[in-house]
Structure 1
């Protein structure tokens, strides 16, 4: 298939795109690449790229594609909370516009990066795809609003699919340290502390970034009737953990580490357990490969290899919100998170 992947240079996209190439798909990427200096290990592939803001896509950009995989957006709660109106503009309005343009351009399939954050404050019962939404952050709200707006667009010519990923973890060339398993492992490696900012009681479903990529490929390659206007929780039902259980796994793997709680640690309103059995029943090609324990082992080996430091982990390079604020201070991004053009005269100085 000829596939457009928005956000292909992000945490998930940098893993998914090479896997699509391995499956012989014809892939083009679209990414504003504001995190271009944040590559952790290795290099990104040379996928043909439209270096463009997702808010600026026009119908001609979409001509001739068989599918759009839409990953682009503000990817976490700190970025989502930074300026909620931007989260609404980028994650919601631009996504809905992209879907409309894709339909007008005759793109048959539209795969949207939704999230289990849709369920928000849901308690400890297992949630299927029919569970009520209860998002508690601008990020989660934006994902819900896109699903509600795009699902009615489905018809015989336009087939949207909504992949609600569990909380991601694992190694990527564009690694994120704001994700719970990645974060706790990095704390343990760099400081010896497994630092919990909550009381450790909230439930989280977690899934390796490579398994998220496998879910997209399975949905992309599935018969249309299996995925048409369907939502899928992405992960394994057995991979739901309380945060303190993830901390215990990290402590068992990272030598000389110990669990510490922040002085103000308390309950987290984001608490949900997710039933992921439907995607396996519907898409037999989706076979997750990772567990939390293997993921911590992978990260620990990578941190040993690169010599991850606390400055790297907590600094402006790999912390998304800190990096964005740095780019704004340096005049490389404006307050609307758009790249600032450098005048020709300045380039000659």
Structure 2
């Protein structure tokens, strides 16, 4: 059985949808940001906290866990700056509790949902796993701390793990049963689509003078189902003994500017956006694009879904939700 911590959230719930096709799954989530309705009915659901040893022991006592996937981090950059203790308590201290309970029960396979925020503002066109990590906010630092902890645990306790650093997750499940539903919403594609549905007055674009072809920031967008499949490929690698420790970037390897994303949303929906142009936000790099060649080489994974299909799936979800 696979334990998915945070399996009621956006990315975790999409992973569970794919994972139940081949494995028994138990989801642990406190529903603070996730949704009970998002969890596939084939999965077992346990309401509990990542940082509660009592809740974790209950799961490990009840089910035979062979690997753990961790999606239960807080992930808002701005909030992490305003309240870093919240982020270190949950993202670091609570994860240590999980790792401690795993050791107690002899579970040694771990798949960690990390982030491109560990890189900070890299001065490279294409980010590889060898690019220096230099996070610029508590969110990114909290994830990088766990990456270091995993490396130490692998050395001292023979933990086998895969860290997946992904970029801009987007889109919705193909049936539009589940999709992106954050409160507050901070991601570009759902913000644009909410505006085009009449739920927001306008869209703000922060910075039009970057050194990019159209002056707006360029980001790497990856469909959430592609992300889910990468996690499953990593799980298979650990369970089959093909992997012991690994760090992989997950992205499309192709960047899209803010302007391109808005224009694609307009094309998919047949609606026109009202756009307000503003100044740059501090700390926004001009370009963040990932190379996923390493995971392609080692696990045969690559992103299959492009921007238009990402937005089309998200549009179906937003119209329905």
Q: TM-score range by the shorter chain?
A: 0.7 to 0.9
**Partner residue in 2 for 1:326:** none
After TM superposition, list the pairs within 5 Å mapping 1:302-313 onto structure 2. 302-306=317-321
- The 3 A distance-change label for structure 1 pair 68 and 185 is same
Question: 1:140-176: CA deviations, max 9, x gaps?
Answer: 1111111011112115842011011111111234523
Alignment of 1:286-325 (within 5 A): 286-306=301-321
Segments of structure 2 that go 5 or more residues without pairing to the other structure are 173-177, 209-214
Q: How does 1:1-349 map to 2 (within 5 A)?
A: 2-23=1-22, 25-35=23-33, 43-46=38-41, 47-58=43-54, 60=57, 61-62=59-60, 64-155=64-155, 157-171=158-172, 172-173=178-179, 175-176=181-182, 177-190=185-198, 191=200, 193-199=202-208, 201-222=216-237, 226-238=242-254, 240-258=255-273, 260-265=275-280, 268-270=283-285, 271-284=287-300, 286-306=301-321
SS of match in other structure, 1:237: coil
Please state how far the C-alpha of 1:282 moved relative to its aligned partner.
Answer: 0.8
Tell me how many residue pairs correspond in the alignment: 299
Q: Give distance in 1, aligned partners of 2:165 and 2:188.
A: 17
Query: TM-score scaled to structure 2, two decimals?
Result: 0.84
Q: What are the superposed Cα offsets for residues 240-293 of structure 1, whole Å, 9 maximum, x if unpaired?
A: 223232223223323231362344445653442211111111112x34331111
- Cα distance, 1:138–1:198 mapped onto 2, change above 3 Å: farther
Between the aligned partners of 2:192 and 2:310, the Cα distance in structure 1 is 12
The 2-side partners of 1:129 and 1:231 are apart by 7
The TM-score normalised by the length of structure 1 is 0.77
- 8 Å contact from structure 1 (residues 194, 251) kept in 2: no
How many Å apart are 1:27 and its aligned residue? 0.9
Task: Name which of structure 1's ranges 288-297 and 200-209 shifts more when overlaid on structure 2.
Answer: 200-209
